Structure 1
Amino acid sequence: MSTSGVGKTVQDVMHEGAQCVGENDTLRTAAQMMRDMSVGALPICGQDDRLKGIITDRDIVIKCCAEGHDLDQITAGEFARGLVWVEAGSSVEEALEKMEQHQIKRLPVIDNHRLVGMITEADLAKELPDSKLAEFVHRVYAAA
């Protein structure tokens, strides 16, 4: 692993142009978007174009399908809770700390109150030295 993450901002390493699922869209729509974009999580945005939360493929399977709910009746907005995000100009280290603190693997990136991208554990893996990456993995997956 490189040590190139030192001094870089979140915007330097994030995936740009994250696409939102609307808060009133169904979980079927969210699942289809994930399939079409080959992603495991989507930000949830409101009608005001503001970030409301994030939904994962695991949320859909565990909290909807496994519970016998109808994918066409549950909206993405019903999963919008506990929002954690990072500013685009923040350091990679700050993003890492937030992800560790909240034990999450994906983090929406905000600039000027608007969603501009996502940063994931894979993005961090490219930027962190082995020791930092090992520490991150231990902290995020320890309670899993």
Structure 2
Amino acid sequence: MTTAGDIMHRGAQWIPAHETLDRAAQVMRQLDVGALPISDENGRLCGILTDRDIVVRCVAMGHDPAKITASEMAQGTPRWVESDAGVDTVLTEMQGHQIRRLPVIENKRLVGMISEADLAAHLTEEQLAGWVESVYAKS
């Protein structure tokens, strides 16, 4: 059985909840990613910050990204899967919540992220088509 750990992109990093959005943007640029999981003071997932969040919900609203923290952008209940979860579980989680990136956790710690590119590289055409239809058609 193919697992989340098999298809995820390793090397994902947290951004602490207290970190400012300008620093988060610098980390995104350094890692060449468009999203960072947000960790609370206990190292637990409390949200995900995207480059779009920074632009649309901060900069475009006239806020200073040097004064807004990642925790202020965190919305809703963060979704994640364990590294040993099967691909069906990954797809169910992503489709059910219409999400495009999914943190992968092992022993309560971030070990990777699953993105659209990871799905495209590891799923069958049928699985990928189903995911695209469910995530983008309802958006």
- Shorter-chain TM-score: what band? over 0.9
Report Cα offsets for 1:79-138 as digits up to 9, x if no partner. Answer: 223211111110011111111111111000111111111111111111111121111111
Question: Secondary structure of the equivalent of 2:103?
Answer: strand
CA distance in 1, matches of 2:138, 2:18: 32
Q: Tell me which residue corresponds to 1:4.
A: none
Distance 1:68 1:93 in 2: 41
| Post-superposition CA distance 1:32-80 (Å, at most 9, x none) | 1111111000010122111111100111111001111110111001122
Query: Structure 1: which 5+ runs fail to align?
Result: 1-6
Task: State the 4+ residue runs in structure 1 displaced beyond 3 angstroms.
Answer: none
Matched residue type, 2:65:
L
Aligned residues: 138
| Identical aligned residues as a percent | 53
If the length of structure 2 is used for normalisation, what is the TM-score?
0.94
Q: Which amino acid aligns with 1:66?
A: A
Instruction: Find the counterpart in structure 2 of residue 75 from structure 1.
Output: 69
Matches of 2:68 and 2:138 in 1, distance apart?
A: 28
Aligned to 1:13: 7
What is the aligned-residue RMSD (CA, Å)?
1.0
- Find out whether 1:84 has 2:79 as its counterpart: yes
Work out the CA distance in 1 between the residues paired with 2:135 and 2:29: 25
Aligned match for 2:31, one of 32, 37, 45: 37
Normalising by structure 1, what TM-score? 0.91
Query: In the alignment, residue 141 of structure 1 is paired with which amino acid?
Result: Y
Q: Does 1:126 align with 2:116?
A: no
